[in-house]
């Protein structure tokens, strides 16, 4: 098995898997990911509406929640 096969094994295996409604870990991870994405969008959009001294903080918050 080549190195490329080992690298893509997890990706290929995950393509057919769907999120089960009884999988509480998966559902909570998906929910937390969606909330972080919403927070990132909020911080980016609201950056223009705060005073100049808070713009850097809003940018850092967007970067932290986006990563």
Beta-carbon contacts of 61 under 8 Å, excluding residues fewer than 6 positions away, are: 39, 43
In this prediction, residue 53 carries a pLDDT of 96
3-state secondary structure labels for all residues of 3-24: HHHHHHHHHHHHHCCCCCCCCH
More confident residue, 66 or 2: 66
The single residue listed with the structure tokens 């903080």 is 57
Domain-embedded: residue 67:
yes
pLDDT tens digit string along 3-51?
Answer: 555 555 555 555 657 878 889 999 999 999 999 999 999 999 999 999 9
Domain-embedded: residue 33:
yes
Number of domains in the chain: 1
Domain-embedded: residue 14:
no
pLDDT tens digit string along 46-55?
Answer: 999 999 999 9
Q: How far apart are CA 1 and CA 65, in angstroms?
A: 37
Domain-embedded: residue 51:
yes
Can you give the residue range of the structural domain that contains 32?
23-67
Q: How far apart are CA 7 and CA 15, in angstroms?
A: 14
Domain-embedded: residue 4:
no
Domain-embedded: residue 58:
yes
Considering the entire predicted model, what is its pTM?
0.66
């Amino acid at each position: 098995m080549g190195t490329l096969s080992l690298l893509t094994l997890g990706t290929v295996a995950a393509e057919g898997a769907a999120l089960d409604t009884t999988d509480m870990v998966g559902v909570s991870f998906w929910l937390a990911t969606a909330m972080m994405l919403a927070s990132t969008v909020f911080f980016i959009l609201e950056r223009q509406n705060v005073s100049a001294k808070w713009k850097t903080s809003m940018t850092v918050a967007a970067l932290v929640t986006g990563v």
